Amino acid sequence: MKNRLPQTALTLLVAWIMLVLLSWILTALNPTADLRSLLSAEGIRWLFGRFVYTLSSPLLIWLVLGVMAYGPLTESQLFRLRRPLGVKERFALRVVMLELTIVVVIMALLTLLPQPLLLTATGTVNHSSFLHCLVPVTCVTLIISGLTFGVGAGKIDGLAGAYNSLVAGFRSGGHLFVFYVLIVLLCSTIGYVFDL
């Protein structure tokens, strides 16, 4: 799998370069075509002026939080529990279950009570604050649960260990950011060239 990642990234980069060149050639051959060239003055301004705006999206934040949550969950070995559980592990697991229960109750109160705060004005879930915060709240809950279990069970030592566990997710999931940049760049360029 690791050997295919660089080839896949190179394929995405070559596809982007081909799209840039193809848009330039097609607009040069037929200036009245309904295409925009990325190598024109307008296209270069779009590419450089909108690059950061194009990359900054909720998906990027979800990716950062997801990769960050992966670290404490793996470092704490929360999903690799073996029976019989020790006293520390049982206590830490109970605290994690309590934390999860508290989060579920809070989210339920914010969405199920009359005049719910996280739903739209009409009381629907579509385009509501609940949907916008679901992934971040889940990731932060997983981070807290992983850190709580890791510290409580003795798998993560102190503040430095907690910090290192947060960074550990980026060591194993850092390649996802390269693909994020390449995929978003390719998709946004397709949207620009074909005026979608």
Neighbours of 179 (CB within 10 A): 14
- Which tens digits make up the pLDDT trace of 144-191? 999 999 999 888 898 999 999 999 999 988 889 999 999 999 999 999
> What token pair was written down for 169?
């997710």
When divided into structural domains, the chain yields a total of 1
How many angstroms separate the CA atoms of 100 and 113, rounded?
Answer: 20
How many angstroms separate the CA atoms of 77 and 104, rounded?
Answer: 23
Model confidence pTM above 0.75:
yes
Helix residue spans in 36-174 (DSSP H) = 41-49, 51-55, 58-75, 87-112, 129-152, 158-173
Whole domain around residue 97: which residue ranges? 4-193
**How many Cα atoms sit within 13 Å of 152 on the Cβ side?**
20
> Residue 1's pLDDT is what?
56
How many angstroms separate the CA atoms of 89 and 82, rounded?
Answer: 10
Please report, for residues 59, 62, 75, 180, the alpha-carbon distance to residue 65 in angstroms, rounded to integers and kept in the order given.
10, 5, 16, 14
- Indicate the range of 13-22, 124-133, 183-192 predicted with least confidence: 124-133
Give the DSSP letter string of 16-68.
HHHHHHHHHHHHHH-TTSS---TTSHHHHHHHHHSHHHHH-SHHHHHHHHHHH
